[in-house]
Amino acid sequence: MTAGAPDWGDRPGTVICLGLSAFDYIWQVERLPEGRSDKVRAPEFLTKGGGMAATAAVAVARLGGRPSFWGRAGEDREGAAMRDELAAEGVDVSGFRLFGGARSSISGVFVDPAGERHIANFRGQGLPPAPDWLPLDAVAKAGAILADPRWPEGAEAAFAAARKVGIPTILDADVADREVFERLLPLTDHAIFSAPALLGFAGADTEGALGSVAAFGCRIAAVTLGGDGVLWREHGATASRPALPVAIVDTTGAGDVFHGAYALAIAKGAPTAHAMEFAGVAAALKCTQAGGRRGIPTLEQTMRFWRDNS
């Protein structure tokens, strides 16, 4: 690990995060359910905003950046709660639209004492796919654009606008249909897959799979490996960084925090290896607390932990 504060200059770290915002109902359980009709006790219960891009935006805010969230939700109780929570975290929600007659995305999350989780997600209903209302002129003022694959029409529009003005694009490549990746990867500069998503898209040979992703024109092709850290391909060479050992309480949102922290570092001009390390530290710290957002660290906490474990 690299000791000391990051030398990122004075860029403001403006990041547009586009994609999924979901409302999470979280049960902290004694064990995960097994078999049919199983019942388990939940010593703790939480309700919080979630979703990949939305949680990444909160991570950018906590880490001292300037995030905006662009996405869709229903004009319902969950949609209003998600918008208000993001705004309270310092996220610009002017590009987060609530649609009348639509239903917001909702997740039920079971988390066991080891921090592992099972998630059931209702993707929402009646949300119009067209991105024609997005404020795409704002892309030119951003330092980076981060998108997940849950709203491909919006991600494609934002990434295409970013390509025209040279703003780096970062794809949070979680599990999605193959055609979604084939649509977005040619517009992606930094493709960071989860391990299951990379396996499903390009096969079990990890380095070969990263090469397949890079063949779409991605400058960085990466995969997060949980406790085994992160592996990436850049300029035809492969590099890796280990995960920091922490006492895991809950891994919910760790990948989202990784992507948000990485996008912030890229927006501030950090080199790839430095951005990967920074993101890994922030994600590891998040895992030490329950909930997808409650454990997201501040920049000061992240840098202190980074220095202490270098």
Read off the pLDDT of residues 264-308 as tens digits, 9 standing for 90 and up.
Answer: 999 999 999 999 999 999 999 999 987 778 899 999 999 999 988
| Residue 220, number of CB atoms within 10 A of its CB | 24
With residues binned 3-state (H G I as helix, E B as strand, rest as coil), the percentages for the chain, rounded to 5, are 35, 25, 40
DSSP labels, 212-274: HHHTTT-SEEEEE-GGG-EEEEETTEEEEEPPPP---S--TTHHHHHHHHHHHHHHTT--HHH
Would you state the pLDDT for residue 164?
98
Going by the DSSP 8-state scheme, the letter that residue 291 receives in this structure is S
pLDDT band with cut points at 50, 70 and 90 for residue 137: very high
What's the whole-model pTM score? 0.91
Regarding the domain with residue range 14-34+41-126+139-308, which homologous superfamily does it belong to in the CATH classification?
Ribokinase (3.40.1190.20)
pLDDT band with cut points at 50, 70 and 90 for residue 252: confident
Would you state the pLDDT for residue 182?
98
How is residue 309 written in tokens? 């474990």
Phi first, then psi: what are they for 145, rounded to 5°?
-120, 120
pLDDT band with cut points at 50, 70 and 90 for residue 258: very high
Would you state the pLDDT for residue 1?
43
Q: How far apart are CA 58 and CA 90, in angstroms?
A: 8
- Pairing relationship of beta strands 144-147 and 169-173 according to DSSP bridges: parallel
Q: Domain coordinates of the chain in residue numbers?
A: 14-34+41-126+139-308
